Chains A and B, each alone.
Chain A
Amino acid sequence: MHILANPARFLKIARPLTPWLGWGGGGLTLLGLCTGLLFAPPDYLQGDSVRIIYLHVPTAWLGMAGWAGIAIASLMQIVWRHPLAAIAARAVALPGAVFTAICLASGSLWGRPTWGTYWQWDGRMTSMLVLLFLYVGYIALADADRERGGEGRITAIYGLVGAINLPIIHYSVLWWRTLHQGQSLGLGSSKIDSSMLWPLLTSALGFSLLFGAIVLMRMRTMLARQKVEARLRRMAA
Chain B
Amino acid sequence: MKAKNQRLVLLILAIVAVLGAVLLAMSALRQQAAYFYAPSDVAAAGAPLDRAVRIGGMVRPHSIKRDPDGVTIYFLVGDETANVIRVRYRGIVPDLFRENSGVVAEGRFQPGGLFVASEILAKHDENYRPPVLDAGKGEHKSSSLK
Contacts and interface: CB of A to CB of B under 8 A. Distances in A.
B130 A43 contact: yes
Contact of B129 (A122, A176, A196): A196
Given A174-B146, A175-B27, A181-B125, 12 more contacts: A45-B124, A115-B122, A116-B97, A117-B119, A122-B35, A160-B15, A175-B26, A178-B35, A179-B121, A182-B125, A182-B146, A195-B130
B111 interface: no
B94 A114 contact: yes
Contacts of B4: 79-80
B100 to A, nearest CB: 11
A8 B129 CA distance: 49
Contacts of B15: 160
Interface string A161-178: 100100110010111111
A173 B36 CA distance: 13
Contacts of A50: 128
Interface of A: 41-46, 50, 53, 75, 78-80, 113-117, 120-123, 160-161, 164, 167-168, 171, 173-179, 181-184, 191-193, 195-196
Contacts of B104: 179
B66 interface: no
Interface stretch (B42-50, B70-78, B80-88, B133-141): B133-141
B122 A193 contact: no
Contacts of A184: 126-128
Contacts of A167: 19, 23
A50 B15 CA distance: 38
A65 B121 CA distance: 30
Interface in B76-112: 93-97, 104
Nearest to B6: A79
A175 B95 CA distance: 27
Contacts of B140: 45
B13 interface: no
Contacts of A117: 119, 121
B52 interface: no
A46 B30 contact: no
B58 interface: no
Given A43-B129, A78-B7, A181 B123 contact: yes
